[in-house]
Structure 1
Amino acid sequence: MPYLEPTANGPTTEWARRTATKLGCHVIVGYPELASAPAASARQDSATENDDVSGSGTIYNAAVVVSPSGEVLCNYRKHFLYEADERWGASPGRDGFACLDLEFSQKTPDKQPESGLADRHTSLKVALGICMDLNPKGFVAPFEKFEFGNFAVAHNADMIVMPMAWLSAEKQDAHDEHREDVPEYRTISYWARRLTPIVRQYLHADLSRRKRTPTIFIAANRCGVEDGDTAYAGSTSAVSFAVDGSAQLVASLNAREEGLLSTTVDYEPSP
């Protein structure tokens, strides 16, 4: 397969490093990984002695996380595989879903006015998955098991980030260039429903177990049509789960819109 890349060391990771250092931001991007040798720099689920390092190596549907300084913080490997992953020979990540602390700094007014702005450092717990990770495992597990949602709650995640290539639920209309281009709300609603445990944690009867800060969900999804008959849902979105148990669609691209979604969300890190 010509597009496979070495673990956190291929053209996608190099692009992520350049972009992160240029813009001073974290970058999370998916790529097709070939773990052909014990690769070192990535934190989560990096290649080990148990990988098949002979011949063509082991293939993963992966995502790399890069810091504003260009450091690779995490190489996540998709845990729940979709049928397309299996067709191109991918293996499931063995370490399950990922959650990591990301450090952010921002300028805030100093307590002493004459001092101007001061750097404020904040750490967010970010749960990371890829596309099918949000679904019931293999579409066989009970819907109410909510594997990824429960993982995010168990790790007290402040933010959830998921790169996706999610198919359109409106297949008959997805190819119609004349239909109105709007977000695919049916799909966005499904994503939110799969995170039901996030809502439940705000409504828990035991006040001591209620989460007191919002949770932000970021879905970065592919759009367009591939090979004439495979339509993607697009609708890249930011959803805020509030402390009153409500969910608000903060911003979204349209179903066929290829672009950059830039938005601001209000949050406070978990205590």
Structure 2
Amino acid sequence: MKVACLQFNPQVGDFQGNVVKANTLLRDAEERGELQNLSWLLLPEMALTGYNFPNLAAITPFLEPTTAGPSTNWAREVAMRLKSHVTIGYPEIEPATSRRYNSTVTVSPTGEVLVNYRKSFLYYTDETWASEGPERFFRGQVNGLGEVAMGICMDINPHKFLAPWTAFEFANHCLQPTPVPLVAINMAWLTRLGPEEVAADPKGVDAETLAYWLERFYPLLKANADMPLTVIFANRCGTEGGVVYAGTSTVMRIEKGGSTKIFDILGQGEERLLLVDLKEPPKFAVTTGPPGQAPGQP
């Protein structure tokens, strides 16, 4: 299976500009022949609208009807062109109830909507306009991908930052009733670094963020699953309304006994496609220890 994360710097409220940027990055990769036999393309949380809307009034013009708005239409077009599954984040409004959600939609290579997942754990920014999804996280069979667990950014944190650190709600969801082989997280994850620090080293990995993500999947490391578990972190980069994003999109494999290896990883400021063939050996090994209590930033 060949998977890809499109890490880029969408700007809040600039839908057309974000589409142009995403299309340009994908077309460049296509011209290089990199997207042949792609199985799954993942984009960040709220990838084409931007994320950091200050309030409900600001985001209202960009809310999209359930699996029927411009983000879903873009995903359909790309999926059919690439003959690949596509998962993209978007701000959803449910027509029947007018409820609003921070969601992802997954479409098949034929353009069929397979999954519409609504974020379970809301970050402070989400709480100004969105409701928690009625179903906690997603896990199920996705035609063409197999059994998959999916979440959105804050989902991997303790609920509202009030639940016990060791509850590991999302990680334990990935283990029940048995370990799921493929996990994907679409993200708009912040960094503690300032914009000048990121700009000075755009290809550098945000090591603190990567370590935190690993900590939040500690139960998977200890599960001693018989089969390897693949985890995809599809993050964005750049700045938006005074906040800085961590980039560092990563595809990793957790092996029997908890050994963790990284297939590949992007830098904290890189705008490009992360391409990984899961049949190829990972590039890096990661040393992990017992979980701590470090604060996280979704």
Bin for the TM-score computed over the shorter chain: 0.7 to 0.9
- For the 8 Å contact 1:175–1:231, the answer to whether it is kept is no
Within-5 A mapping of 1:147-226 = 147-155=169-177, 156-170=179-193, 172=194, 175=197, 177-179=199-201, 181-202=203-224, 211-226=225-240
Displaced runs of 4+ in structure 1, greater than 3 A?
A: 172-176
1:241 match: 254
Q: Does 1:76 align with 2:117?
A: yes
Q: Please report how far the alpha carbon of residue 90 of structure 1 lies from its aligned counterpart in structure 2 after TM superposition.
A: 0.3
TM-score by length of 2: 0.71
Partner SS state of residue 9, structure 1: coil
Distance in 2 (CA, whole Å) between partners of 1:176 and 1:234 is 10
Distance 1:15 1:180, change over 3 A: closer
State the alpha-carbon separation in 2 of the partners of residues 139 and 167 from structure 1: 15
Tell me the CA shift for residue 188 of structure 1: 1.2
Query: Is the Cα–Cα contact under 8 Å of residues 103 and 119 in structure 2 kept in the other structure?
Result: yes
**Does 27-36 or 155-164 show the bigger shift?**
155-164
- Once structures 1 and 2 are overlaid, which stretch shifts more, 177-186 or 151-160? 177-186
The structure having more radius of gyration, on CA atoms, is 1
Shift of 1:83: 0.3
Structure 1 distance, partners of 2:232, 2:109, is 19
Q: Is the 8 A contact 1:174 1:231 kept in 2?
A: no
Give the aligned partner of residue 17 of structure 1: 76
Q: 2:207 and 2:266 mapped to 1: Cα distance?
A: 11
- Counterpart contact for 1:18–1:70, Cα < 8 Å: yes
Larger deviation, residues 257-266 vs 89-98:
257-266
The CA RMSD over aligned residues, in Å, is 1.6
Equivalent residue, structure 1, for 2:167: 145
**Structure 1 residue 180: deviation in Å?**
5.6
Whole-angstrom distance in 2 between the partners of 1:7 and 1:128: 18
Q: Quick check: 1:131–1:166 contact (8 Å CA) kept in 2?
A: yes
CA distance in 1, matches of 2:88, 2:202: 29
Task: Identify if the C-alpha distance between structure 1 residues 76 and 176 changes in structure 2 by more than 3 Å, giving closer, same or farther.
Answer: closer
Give aligned-pair identity as a percent: 39
Structure 2 gaps of 5+ residues are 1-59, 281-298
Q: Which amino acid aligns with 2:189?
A: W
Pairing partner for 1:98 from 138, 141, 147: 138
Alignment length, in residue pairs?
220
Distance 1:18 1:244, change over 3 A: same
Hey, what's the Cα distance between the residues in 1 that align with 2:70 and 2:202? 36
TM-score by length of 1: 0.77
Distance 2:197 2:61 in 1: 28
